[in-house]
A and B are shown apart, each in its own frame.
Chain A
Amino acid sequence: MQLEHTFTVAAPVEQAWALLLDIERIAPCMPGATLTSFSGDNFEGNVRVKLGPVNMTYAGKGRFLEKDEAAHRMVMEASGRDARGGGTAKATVTGTLKAADDGAGTVVTVVTDLAVTGRPAQFGRGMIADVGGRLIGQFADCLASKLSELPAPEPTPAEPAPAQEPETGEPASVVEPAAVVAEPAAAVSLAPVKVTPAAEPIDLLHVTGVSGAVKRAVPYVVGFVLGGLVTWLLLTLLT
């Protein structure tokens, strides 16, 4: 099934691109995933999903298929397996940034192609699309608020944004070479996630930030979270 989400953030494309690749700043925005390692274009992690009585942990890995800085388009693939053998999921996530028509912001499009194997495969999307949409919406809100904190690109920033290259969006295509293992010590704890204002915590995990050299894992995280959504699909098994 294909899920498409589009949102607009109030920042120029180059800034948005740079931020999107800054895992340390973005990770806390993602509802629930833990990176366990990141090396080059590959990464591993897991997603713990809790919704009502359902509680599952997907573990898996992912990698970049494409990182086109000129077109501001990234494609990644992630696959996960439920720790108890409940099923597998594979997601191909394409993220594209584009200047908004009014020139003031950036339109972010995330297209997720979710392939589900095992028992869930025979069921439709149902809740997954709905909950997936809400999670992306939550991610977008968080991203937008982070971007609104950025200094404007042209005037000299009042306070230089640390580790940001707002004008060039430079995050070099050279990926940090060293394998970096996320230290739980660097964990950024996310308060229990509320999917809707009135909702009980869906409790989508704790997002763990990773140490400085780790960049660009965000799309992986996105993919894993969406992959974890398969869990909800499983719920329809019972209906």
Chain B
Amino acid sequence: MIPAAFDYLRPSTVEDAAAALAEAGDEAKVLAGGQSLLPLLRLRLASPSLLVDIGGLAQLRGIRVEDDVLAIGAMTTHAEVSSSAEVQADAPLLAAAAGAVGDRQVRHRGTLGGSLAHADPAGDLPAVALALDAQLVLAGSGGRRTVGAADFFTDYFTTALAGDELLVEVRVPRLSSWGACYEKFHRTAQAWATVGVAAVVRRENGSIAEARVALTNVGPTPVRAVAVEQALAGADATAEAIAAASGHAAEGTNPTSDLAASAEFRKHLARVLTRRALHAAAGL
């Protein structure tokens, strides 16, 4: 449980961090909160020759309210996100899911950007970013670019981040009038999601104007439950309509079987949790 030897760098600017990553190439890893990377190092599943610790980049920490966007620094911890009044008001889905990550210790060390960049298929926040259509700002040695959540997650533990890039900011559209719910199934009090469902719903009068649903851990990356969303567009905001739409939740998913759950059970969970999440998000 002792990591292999590595060099350690704690840059004070984003530019320095990107330059260090560019120079080290494949052999470098970014250390954010370390709640996923440190176990990998201790198990020696990962053995980078260089760790670039971005914990010293104060500019990557904090929450700003812009016109129609919450700009959240990548190094903002889950605890800060979940307890933020701004996030609770304008992105309640994110506040709820950040408060459901790991345990209290993990939430005080782990960061929003770290979770997204790690891209664990069982991680809670990638699906939330997908449901919220978050925009991710990546900084590299060649400058900055913005990637939508839908294009960011590409495979198990793999993202659109290039080797010399780090995630610096998460831009979340403000959805203050939307209802939201994150449903997470796990067998012990502190565990990764066997399946998770992130749902947001915008109601108009008595009907559902728009619903967005994203699923955790039913494939290599988080996925939108497109069939459910289409079934609910313009539907009555009733339990029956939601139950009918939720029956489509497993369509297009490709879950794996493991000791926590079979693929079939994961599909079942997707349908059940989608119904519950939508029910709550629609305010029923």
Contacts and interface: CB of A to CB of B under 8 A. Distances in A.
From B40, B118, B120, B192, residue with most partner A Cβ within 10 Å: B40
8 contacts: A53-B36, A53-B48, A53-B157, A84-B44, A126-B256, A199-B158, A200-B154, A238-B36
Interface string B46-61: 1110000000000000
A86 B42 CA distance: 11
Interface size class of B (residues with CB under 8 A): 20 to 34
A130 interface: yes
Contacts of B37: 53
B126 to A, nearest CB: 13
B158 A86 contact: no
Task: Identify whether the interface residues of B are mostly helix, strand, loop, or mixed.
Answer: loop
A122 B260 CA distance: 12
B155 A127 contact: no
A84 B46 CA distance: 10
Contacts of B40: 53-54, 238
A55 B29 CA distance: 11
A52 B119 contact: yes
A199 B47 contact: no
- Would you list the 6 A-B pairs with minimal beta carbon distance, nearest first? A52-B157, A124-B258, A126-B258, A239-B192, A199-B155, A124-B259
B156 interface: yes
B50 to A, nearest CB: 13
A56 interface: yes
B158 A200 contact: yes
A86 to B, nearest CB: 6
B43 A234 contact: yes
A131 B45 contact: no
A53 B46 contact: yes
B146 interface: no
A125 B256 contact: yes
B159 interface: yes
Nearest to B219: A130
Interface string B128-166: 000000000000000000000000001111111000000
A84 to B, nearest CB: 5
A123 B43 CA distance: 15
A85 B44 contact: yes
Interface string A192-207: 0001101110110000
B122 interface: yes
Nearest to B35: A238
From A52, A126, A199, residue with most partner B Cβ within 10 Å: A52
A99 interface: no
From B39, B158, B254, B260, residue with most partner A Cβ within 10 Å: B158
B252 to A, nearest CB: 15
B256 A52 contact: no
Contact of A84 (B4, B36, B191, B257): B4
B158 A130 contact: no
A207 B258 CA distance: 30
A86 B47 CA distance: 12
B158 A52 contact: yes
A151 B47 CA distance: 47
Interface string A51-65: 111111000000000
Contacts of B43: 86, 119, 234, 237-238
B220 A130 contact: yes
Given A122-B259, A200-B158, 6 more contacts: A125-B257, A131-B156, A200-B154, A234-B43, A238-B36, A239-B120
